[in-house]
Amino acid sequence: MDVLQLMDEWGPEKVVCVSDRRTGMKGVLVIDNTARGMGKGGTRMSPSVTVAEIARLARVMTWKWAGVDLFFGGAKAGIVFDPTSPDKEAALRAFARKLSNEVPREYVLGLDMGLTERDAAIVQDELSDRGAMMGAPAQLGGLPYDELGVTGFGVAEVADELMLLPGKRVAIQGFGAVGAAAAKRFAELGAVVVAISSVHGTLVDADGLDVARLLKLREESGDLAVKEYGTVRELGAELRVPCDVLVPAALQDVIDADLAQELDTTLVIEGANLPTSVGAQEVLAARGITVVPDFIANAGGVVAAAFGMDARYSPFPVNPATVLDAVSAKLRANAANVLVEARNRGTTPHVAARELAQERVLDAMKLKGRVA
């Protein structure tokens, strides 16, 4: 593809592609917009990573940081490699070395699909820099996002702000780090989780699933937990289950305009990045179904990352309770504000949230003389 075609008035400012002959690793870093601060965003590893995908996600990070009004810029990185390969560590080390000019001066890596807390420790070791990657294990002074479940926690907090959750029915697509943490927090807040899915199928129980049992099975069996729990239905059933709150927390582009006509819910909280199409958002708005945009609802990770960035060279560990309190307060306030703005502007929450974020980024670009 022609990388120049990715560039518009916002960015990206820099696209760096790297490769390593010995491991076969290929990778890309996209720094989208740094008007409000240095580039910060997750790093994913998958055999199917593309430059366009990473550029799209880097743009989401630009709006996400601006949406929560924290001062970092949008960026994202991707490694074209199989995360289950026995050569994963060698590929990860090669990727870090190849980007040593940019990391950590212009971009700090973070955890995303295919990478773990141990991988963060490996990158820190390879570059001899604690500040090179966020999400390292607590034993190394890091803030373990997945262990805390900050993104899923924030998703449930947003739902509770907009709809008092005790007794409400919740359906969750995805039982990874975000979906599992969301299920746990929804249960703690008194909601009834009626559907959960993983790549192995969908569990549905109108009377409510046993979330504690499911979480225990996940610790033992990973994505297979749904099959260990009971009889599964086809994938996609979780999106059509009657519920009060629907949480797409798996992949992007899962709800299009046609599927949006079938949803039987009151509130959609986007746990995954880019799960709904523009057409779907318009259909849902016309049907009176509220959708909280991804870069508002799943921003718990960036709030936690901000704490991690602030403390990355400190000998003192971050207090997890402080992080969770901040995630709750920040995301609840932002979600409520975006819905008010959507009503005032006569548009969808996605458009209103993006306009708010763009206004903040544009102000920073003007102040720095990047635009007239």
Q: How far apart are the first and last CA of the chain?
A: 31
pLDDT, tens digit, 9 for 90 and up, residues 21-40:
999 999 999 999 999 999 99
Q: How confident is the model at residue 15 (pLDDT cuts 50, 70, 90)?
A: very high
Coil/strand/helix, residue 9: coil
pLDDT, tens digit, 9 for 90 and up, residues 105-115:
999 999 988 99
Residue pair 64/74 in contact by the 8 Å Cβ criterion = yes
Q: Is the peptide bond before 166 cis (omega within 30 degrees of 0)?
A: no
Residue 7 phi/psi, 5-degree rounding, is -85, 135
pLDDT, tens digit, 9 for 90 and up, residues 318-350:
899 999 999 999 999 999 999 999 999 999 999
pLDDT at 146 over 90: no
Q: 225: closest CA among 234, 235, 216?
A: 216
Burial of 355 (0-12, 13-18, 19+ CB in 10 A): middle
Chain centroid to Cα 39, Å, comes to: 16
Q: How confident is the model at residue 2 (pLDDT cuts 50, 70, 90)?
A: confident
Question: So which residues are the catalytic ones?
Answer: 76
Residue 115: count of CB within 10 angstroms of its CB: 24
pLDDT, tens digit, 9 for 90 and up, residues 180-231:
999 999 999 999 999 999 999 999 999 999 999 999 999 999 999 999 999 9
pLDDT, tens digit, 9 for 90 and up, residues 271-309:
998 899 999 999 999 999 999 999 999 999 999 999 999
In whole angstroms, give the CA distance from residue 64 to residue 151.
13
Q: How confident is the model at residue 371 (pLDDT cuts 50, 70, 90)?
A: very high
| pTM, entire model | 0.89
Mean pLDDT across 163-189: 97
pLDDT at 313 over 80: yes
In whole angstroms, give the CA distance from residue 144 to residue 307.
12
Q: Which two tokens stand for residue 106?
A: 């212009």
Q: 144: closest CA among 171, 119, 176?
A: 119
Q: Is the peptide bond before 242 cis (omega within 30 degrees of 0)?
A: no
Q: How confident is the model at residue 130 (pLDDT cuts 50, 70, 90)?
A: very high
Residue pair 38/107 in contact by the 8 Å Cβ criterion = yes
Residue pair 119/131 in contact by the 8 Å Cβ criterion = no
Residue pair 366/191 in contact by the 8 Å Cβ criterion = no
pLDDT, tens digit, 9 for 90 and up, residues 58-116:
998 999 999 999 999 999 999 999 999 999 999 999 999 999 999 999 999 999 889 99
What pLDDT score does 148 carry?
87
Q: 251: closest CA among 25, 46, 39, 31?
A: 46
Beta strand extents in the chain (DSSP E only): 14-19, 26-33, 39-40, 43-46, 73-80, 107-108, 169-173, 192-198, 201-204, 245-248, 267-269, 290-292
Residue pair 131/108 in contact by the 8 Å Cβ criterion = yes
